[in-house]
């Protein structure tokens, strides 16, 4: 479509409405105000509202929040629980064993429990009050470069009103070109625009591959009589069952307000067994006697899934190029050791804002000026945290006793461990060839395992995420070569997409008839991006649909 597009110019454009970009925008406008500068700031977000695509545990370390909004409680920051009283367990198939030694990074003293979707919505309201132009429901779908592909000029928003065959509908509305002196990309893990920037500007070259984990979580309302609600414990972390010791990940339960709890399972996407189904593992986790007792009598109010960037230090891209900066999970800022990324995301955004102020003062938005952001990150506590955790994800990927040896060595050497750096393997290359044709007995829940209330199947989960998409639009999930699905992928891995997707987007039809084909249900998509990350043939490309997606409000 070579039509001319409307253009709008801003001083600064933020792509993505998560904590990194919102903290950045708020900090930027505050700083500009102090210097008496008037700037036009725009923030676009693909979710229909700010916060509707935000999902996390979440335990918040308020370090960055206190810097950004010292009176955050007076300003109405939605806190679920102010005290973190931790318990840490190893789960066997039937039992729970208290871990005798809790590593220091697992302590959450001074942190509090939040719902990330509520928290993000709140930040969005504050940003709007400051006069920032916030546009939810407008996905960025194309990065705009100068002719030499050496400078980023802005972002094009997606066309709306295109039918599934690519034809314009009567209400067709072309996307517009948003141009800015600086564009800040905070797309969250595995952004679809940063992928393009990586290919064109090489911001990931020379770095270890970004790796991810997928979290499936629910908010459950417990009966008032629940023993867990009246106990002192507010934070439970588990490892072991159902993932075992060789697959990265673990479970969590956090207490919220109004008799609610947040419960989830995180699965490292470097898992090897093609038959592993993270959603089933989540159900197994909930069915474990120790967990089942805590959640007994409850009702699932909301469910969702999202990936988190787990690679950390050695996977961080170049943080600034001519005309653009990269913040938060997009830039691997999450500290996997502490299972926290909101504080580092916010801080990275704030440091980016400070660099933009410098660029405004010098009227120079080239990398030369903007890279002060990169050096500020290196000087900040983000770097202290991430540097100490630089080999942590790699150690967790090790099997058996080796894992403990690496973890122990890193613990006493400030993260250096036995080998530094430990290399990282891309998540798409870790699957082992199919050994058995079926998942082990007991790992696949049967219909009886779901009661539609406390234990819900995948599709009920999609319903409980509030996910909706316009049905008549081009499929936003691109399978580049459909032949691979029915040949190599079926033979070697039995189409793991049908299992790793927590939204049942992928289905294989016709297995009985012998003539199989892949069927896509893009309307179910939770926007978690697990498919693009884990597909063993790198055959899936996730693009932004015209709007829609989950409607998270309390997860």
Partner 1 sequence: MEVAVLVKQVPDTESLLQLAGDGVSIKTDAIKWVMNPYDEFAVEEALRIREAHGGTVTILSVGSKKTVKTVQTALAMGADRAVLIDDPLAEGGDALATAKILSAALKDIPYDLIIAGQRAVDDDNYQVGSAVAELLGIPQISQVIEENILDGKIKCKKVLEGLTEVVEAALPLLFTTQRGLNEPRYVKLPEIMKAKKKPLDVKTLADIGVEPGTVGAASNRVKITAMKLPPERDAVKMIDGDSVQAKAASLVKILHEEAKIL
Binding stretches for partner 1 (CB under 8 A): 6, 8, 48-49, 52, 118, 133, 135, 138, 157, 160-161, 169-171, 173, 176, 178, 301-302, 447-448, 450-453, 457, 466, 468, 551, 553-554
d(CA 237, CA 485): 37
What minimum distance in Å lies between the beta carbon of 451 and partner 1? 5
What minimum distance in Å lies between the beta carbon of 554 and partner 1? 5
What minimum distance in Å lies between the beta carbon of 287 and partner 1? 14
Say whether the peptide bond before residue 421 is cis (omega within 30 degrees of 0): yes
Buried b (16+ CB within 10 A) or exposed e, 112-139: bbbbbbbbbbbbbbbbeebebbbebbbb
Interhelix angle 19-34/342-362, rounded to 10 degrees, is 40
What minimum distance in Å lies between the beta carbon of 34 and partner 1? 25
CB closer to partner 1, 243 vs 554:
554
What minimum distance in Å lies between the beta carbon of 457 and partner 1? 8
CB closer to partner 1, 139 vs 502:
139
Say whether the peptide bond before residue 58 is cis (omega within 30 degrees of 0): yes
d(CA 18, CA 555): 14
CB closer to partner 1, 160 vs 347:
160
CA atoms within 13 A on the CB side of 350: 20
d(CA 394, CA 313): 11
What minimum distance in Å lies between the beta carbon of 450 and partner 1? 5
CB closer to partner 1, 180 vs 331:
180
d(CA 19, CA 13): 15
What minimum distance in Å lies between the beta carbon of 178 and partner 1? 8
d(CA 510, CA 490): 12
CB closer to partner 1, 184 vs 533:
184
CB closer to partner 1, 309 vs 465:
465
- The distance in angstroms from the start CA to the end CA of the chain is 39
d(CA 370, CA 360): 10
What minimum distance in Å lies between the beta carbon of 160 and partner 1? 4
Q: Locate 450 and state its tokens.
A: 């779901």
Q: Locate 259 and state its tokens.
A: 């008799």
**Could you give the C-alpha distances from 382 to 160, 204, 314, 345, in angstroms and in order?**
39, 19, 13, 9
What residues contact residue 400 under an 8 Å CB cut-off, 6+ apart?
A: 245, 246
What minimum distance in Å lies between the beta carbon of 17 and partner 1? 14
Among residues 335, 275, 344, 287, which one has the least CA distance to residue 498?
Answer: 275
Phi-psi region of 107 (alpha: psi -120 to 50; beta: other; left: phi over 0): beta
CB closer to partner 1, 371 vs 553:
553
Secondary element (H or E) of residue 308: strand 299-309
CB closer to partner 1, 171 vs 363:
171
d(CA 90, CA 237): 9
**Could you give the C-alpha distances from 73 to 58, 76, 79, in angstroms and in order?**
17, 5, 8
What minimum distance in Å lies between the beta carbon of 466 and partner 1? 4
CB closer to partner 1, 121 vs 390:
121
Q: Locate 468 and state its tokens.
A: 């909706």
What residues contact residue 427 under an 8 Å CB cut-off, 6+ apart?
A: 209, 211, 212, 269, 270, 533, 534
What minimum distance in Å lies between the beta carbon of 44 and partner 1? 8
Q: What is the DSSP letter of 340?
A: B
What minimum distance in Å lies between the beta carbon of 276 and partner 1? 23
CB closer to partner 1, 73 vs 404:
73
């Amino acid at each position: 479509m070579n039509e001319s597009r409307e253009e709008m110019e801003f001083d600064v454009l933020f792509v993505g409405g998560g904590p990194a970009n919102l903290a950045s925008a708020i900090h930027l406008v505050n700083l500009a105000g102090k210097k008496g500068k008037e700037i036009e700031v725009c923030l676009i977000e693909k979710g229909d509202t700010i916060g509707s695509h935000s999902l996390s545990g979440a335990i918040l370390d308020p370090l960055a929040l206190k810097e950004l909004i010292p009176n955050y409680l007076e300003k109405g920051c939605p806190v679920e629980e102010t005290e973190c009283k931790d318990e840490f367990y190893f789960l066997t198939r039937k039992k729970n064993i208290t871990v005798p030694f809790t590593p220091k990074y697992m302590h959450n003293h001074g942190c509090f429990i939040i719902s990330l979707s509520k928290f993000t919505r709140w930040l969005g309201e504050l940003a709007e009050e400051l006069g920032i132009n916030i546009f939810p429901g407008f996905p960025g779908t194309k990065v705009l470069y100068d002719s030499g592909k050496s400078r980023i000029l802005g972002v094009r928003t997606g066309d709306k009103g295109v039918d599934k065959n690519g034809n314009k509908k009567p209400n067709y509305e072309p996307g517009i070109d948003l141009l800015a002196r600086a564009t800040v990309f905070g797309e969250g893990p595995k952004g679809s625009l940063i992928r393009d920037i990586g290919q064109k500007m090489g911001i990931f070259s020379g770095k270890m591959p970004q790796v991810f984990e997928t979290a499936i979580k629910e908010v459950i309302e417990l009966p008032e009589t629940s023993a867990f609600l009246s106990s002192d414990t507010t934070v439970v972390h588990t490892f072991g069952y159902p993932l075992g010791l060789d697959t990265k990940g673990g479970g969590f339960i956090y207490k919220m307000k109004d008799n609610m709890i947040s419960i989830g399972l995180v699965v490292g996407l470097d898992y090897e067994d093609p038959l592993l189904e993270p959603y089933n593992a989540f159900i197994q986790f909930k069915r474990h006697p120790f967990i089942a007792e805590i959640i007994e009598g409850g009702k699932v109010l909301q469910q969702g899934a999202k990936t988190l960037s787990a690679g950390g230090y050695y996977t961080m891209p170049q943080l600034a190029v001519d005309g653009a900066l990269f913040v938060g999970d997009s830039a691997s800022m999450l500290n996997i050791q502490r299972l926290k990324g909101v504080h580092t995301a916010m801080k990275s955004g704030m440091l980016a804002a400070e660099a933009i102020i410098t660029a405004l003062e010098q009227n120079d938005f080239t990398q030369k000026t903007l890279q002060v952001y990169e050096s500020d990150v290196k000087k900040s506590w983000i770097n202290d945290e991430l540097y100490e955790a630089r080999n942590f994800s790699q150690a967790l990927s090790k099997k058996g006793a080796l894992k403990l040896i690496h973890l122990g060595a890193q613990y006493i050497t400030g993260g250096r461990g036995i080998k530094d750096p430990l290399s990282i393997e891309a998540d798409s290359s870790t699957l082992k060839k199919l050994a058995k044709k079926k998942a082990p007995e007991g790992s696949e829940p049967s219909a009886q395992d779901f009661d539609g209330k406390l234990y819900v199947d995948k599709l009920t989960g999609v319903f409980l995420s509030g996910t909706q998409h316009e049905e008549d639009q081009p499929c936003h999930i691109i399978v580049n070569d459909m032949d691979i699905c029915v040949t190599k992928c079926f033979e070697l891995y039995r189409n793991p997409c049908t299992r790793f997707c927590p939204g049942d987007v992928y289905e294989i039809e016709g297995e009985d008839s012998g003539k199989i084909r892949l069927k896509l249900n893009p309307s179910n998509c939770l926007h978690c991006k697990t498919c693009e990350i884990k597909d063993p043939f790198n055959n899936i490309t996730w693009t932004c649909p015209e709007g829609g997606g989950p409607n998270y409000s309390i997860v």
